[in-house]
Amino acid sequence: MTGAARTCSVGQPALTRAVRALERELGLVLFRRQGRRVELTDDGREVVAVARRALDEVDAIEAFARRGGGALPAVLTIAATPTIQTDLGSGLVRDFWQRFPQHPVRFVACESAVAVGEAVAGRQADVGICDLPSSAGLVELRYETREVVVVAPPGSALPDPFPVGRLGELAFILPAAGSMRRASLDAFFGALGQQPKVAFESDERAAWIPAVLAGLGCCIWYRHQGRPALGLGAQVLALDPPIRRQIAVVHRGEPLGPAVDGLLGLAAERRDAG
């Protein structure tokens, strides 16, 4: 179940709930649970076989429509983290909509850059937009550099820039322990030789800035995300030495199609414009 959840870019508890809901709806037991092992039942194998035939027929209908010149728009499926989705990849996706309105866009939500890469490699998405590094084996088109900052509560009176070696002195708002995003931030602090003090945990990123403004602690984010908090009185501190992350469109490097080609062309324009 853990591997299946990772492939589907969802949490394991969510996948388990979905499977149980399907079993209730069908009135069938699809999986046999033996300790930590999960196996398909005979009914489950039959449902899988029927579902695969149905999906094959859907693919056949789409192929028939394309042969007949049907106006079937290519949906661009983009794997991205919540931060990237919030600002539409610094407007890259907005620019895509404006230039290629014939192609609908669908986001696949991922917890981390690693999950974005896994979604692209596993073909749950056409491309991913994420900070680097992502998953090995993907082609990267870097189009933006983002500065990592500390967003601190109003009245903190901390030095700007803030020394990286003193991050362990600050209390931080972090994702919940055990999440992929938390693992990414733990690795960030670990690479700097720091151990953050945990003041508040939440996987809902929309809660981070309000928690900072309430004085619960600081958060690590990109300067772009910290600007609204600056207008509300928070401190937005550069790091010393500076830390910057590369943002890229990642893909599998195979024939891409017009929608993906269009997005990559826009990303290349951003890169070349500096």
Give the CATH number for residue 268. Answer: 3.40.190.10
Does 154 share its domain with 226? yes
Q: Are 217 and 172 in contact (CB under 8 A)?
A: yes
pLDDT tens for the chain, 274 residues long, are 777 776 665 667 777 888 888 888 889 999 888 777 888 999 989 999 998 888 888 777 766 665 555 555 578 999 998 888 988 888 999 999 999 998 899 999 888 888 899 899 888 999 999 998 877 789 999 999 999 999 999 999 999 999 999 999 999 999 988 887 888 888 889 999 998 899 999 988 888 999 999 999 999 999 988 888 888 999 999 999 999 999 999 998 887 788 999 999 999 999 998 7
Looking at residue 13, which CATH number applies to its domain? 1.10.10.10
**C-alpha–C-alpha distance, residues 83 and 111, integer Å:** 10
218 forms beta bridges with: 172
Kindly state whether residues 136 and 252 are assigned to the same domain.
yes
Confidence (pTM): 0.67
Indicate whether 106 and 150 sit together in one domain: no
Residues 231 and 253 in one domain: no
Question: Which residue blocks in the chain are alpha helix, DSSP H?
Answer: 2-7, 12-26, 42-67, 82-86, 92-99, 113-121, 180-191, 208-213, 223-231, 258-273
**252/135 same-domain check:** yes
Number of domains composing the chain = 3
Spatial separation of the C-alpha atoms in residues 87 and 225, rounded to whole Å? 9
Range of the domain at 53: 2-67
Mark whether 80 and 44 lie in a shared domain. Answer: no
Examine the domain organization and report whether 221 and 256 are in the same domain: no
Please tell me whether residues 151 and 229 are part of one structural domain: yes
